[in-house]
Amino acid sequence: MTAPLSFRPRIVRGAGRVALVGALALGAAGLTVPAKAQSRLPTVTIGAIGSQKACTVYQQSAGRSALLATPNLIAAASSWRTWLVHDCIDHFATIRTSLEAALAASGKFVVVPRGGRYLITGSISDVSEGGPAPATPAVGSGYAISSSYMFVNMDVKLSEASGRTLYGGLLTKRLETGSNIEVSGFHTTSTRSGQALYTELQHEVALATARLVAFHIVPLSVTASEGRTIQLNYGAPLLALGTIVQVTSPDGGASARYTVTAAGPQGATAQLDGDGSPRITVGSIASVIEPDDLAANGRRLTRVELP
């Protein structure tokens, strides 16, 4: 039996605020693995996560004083960029904490502070924002909606302890920052605080990074298959309820999309979404389609034989 899920707070000093970091540690401390089993798991060390630009560039681009971007000060009314800059100056400690928690909670790795068999490093390469949501004129029946987004790119590298690079990839996360909706004379605007937006961004970047490296070391694969249901060898938090996975047959000749309907600490259950193939069997390799990937909106139809 596992211990209750928990998270560890980390105190960020400044302006009387307390930032709770590591909400993704929802399983790292709660998942218990026997000592002998742990000794057989690959060890992973989270290395440096930096930025290809000076941290203050992100704050200045938002039209705010660079004086707000100091390790000991967070503005009372701050944008998500303020929190990004603070984390950047702190060498992205919050993203590192979430990444460590996600990998540990997967039950496939042991995260060690140094000297791991695998080393993960990363670099934030670009940050952009679409600005406030435009007031789109209503058309047709009087319905109109517009949204604004922020985009963050991160280069991820997986290396062996010897220094040999095993894998490199670029992930892009897109989050909605606000929206305007107008229906028959009714108008509403939504927005969130800078801290809330950055907290979500932190979680999304950490989970996407964890999936990239974890599935390269221990591939996401089918462990059981029956009808339109499959079992996968990973569970929460890397696979959440509603996650879309693309599964390829062992011979590479067939593929199908599945949606995760249940996820626990040891594995996940997924249901076929659309047409399947009898070649999707145990050992088939899967990949995750990120929710902000355009492929997530791909057509998923099931052929129906007409009478």
CA distance 221 to 204: 22
Residue spans per domain, the chain = 35-217, 222-297
Residue type, position 28, single letter: A
Q: Which fold has domain 35-217?
A: Rossmann fold (3.40.50)
Residue 296 sits at φ, ψ, to 5 deg, of -65, -20
Mean pLDDT by 10 residues, the chain (307 residues): 42 38 39 58 94 78 43 51 87 92 93 94 82 54 76 92 90 84 76 84 92 94 94 94 93 91 93 85 93 62 60
Supply the pLDDT for residue 301: 56
Supply the pLDDT for residue 103: 94
CA distance 168 to 178: 32
Helix (H) or strand (E) holding 95: helix 93-105
Q: Which fold has domain 222-297?
A: Thrombin, subunit H (2.40.10)
Supply the pLDDT for residue 276: 77
